[in-house]
């Protein structure tokens, strides 16, 4: 399966056991894809180019994805 994205993706890539793939792009988006189909599921504009790799962690059984962009760290809860 081949995937193409219109903006350079300089950040690292995170894949989860739940079948999600996360990455950042040069336009400041955190993007989430379905790992099997590579369908774009979600994106969030963070206001600046993303060079950092996303990371996953859990607190009290709830899973989160965090990523640094500019001078901020953004954290998102997974469903």
Mean pLDDT per 10-residue section of the chain, whose length is 79 residues? 61 90 88 92 88 94 93 91
For residue 7, the model assigns a pLDDT of 63
| Structure tokens given for 18 | 């739940």
For residue 9, the model assigns a pLDDT of 67
Q: Enumerate domains of the chain plus CATH numbers.
A: 13-77 (2.40.10.480)
| Structure tokens given for 13 | 């890539």
Please state, in angstroms and rounded to a whole number, the distance separating the CA atoms of residues 56 and 63. Answer: 7
For residue 70, the model assigns a pLDDT of 83
| Structure tokens given for 78 | 């997974």
């Amino acid at each position: 399966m081949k995937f193409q994205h219109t903006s350079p993706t300089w950040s690292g890539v995170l894949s989860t056991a739940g079948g999600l793939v996360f990455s950042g792009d040069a336009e400041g988006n955190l993007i989430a894809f379905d790992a099997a189909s590579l369908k774009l599921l979600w994106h969030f504009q963070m206001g600046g180019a993303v060079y950092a790799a996303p990371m996953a962690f859990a607190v009290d059984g709830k899973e989160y994805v965090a990523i640094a962009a500019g001078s901020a760290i953004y954290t998102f809860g997974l469903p």
